[in-house]
Amino acid sequence: MDQPNDKLRILMLEDVQTDAELEESALLEAGLAFTLLRVDTREAYMLALDDFKPDIVLADYRLPTLRIRKFRSSW
């Protein structure tokens, strides 16, 4: 975030839509100002790291098609 008034850029790695909605709702209820991008594949995640440039990554640790430990180091 460049300036204090900028929104937090959150990259969410989540494959279940309802889980993503619950997480987003909790963030909104906490009063956070943010821009959220949800991805559910390794390819989309890797692209988002470069294009979206998140401040933080929220990741579902148990994605059936991904092994978080294998690409966690890219965070």
The residue extents of the domains of the chain are 8-74
The pLDDT of residue 75 is 47
| Angle subtended at Cα 25 by Cα 35 and Cα 40, rounded to the nearest 5 degrees | 60
> With respect to CATH, is domain 8-74 assigned 3.40.50?
yes
Give the pTM.
0.79
Tell me the pLDDT tens digit for each residue of 24-39: 999 999 999 999 999 9
- 58, 10 Cβ separation under 8 angstroms: yes
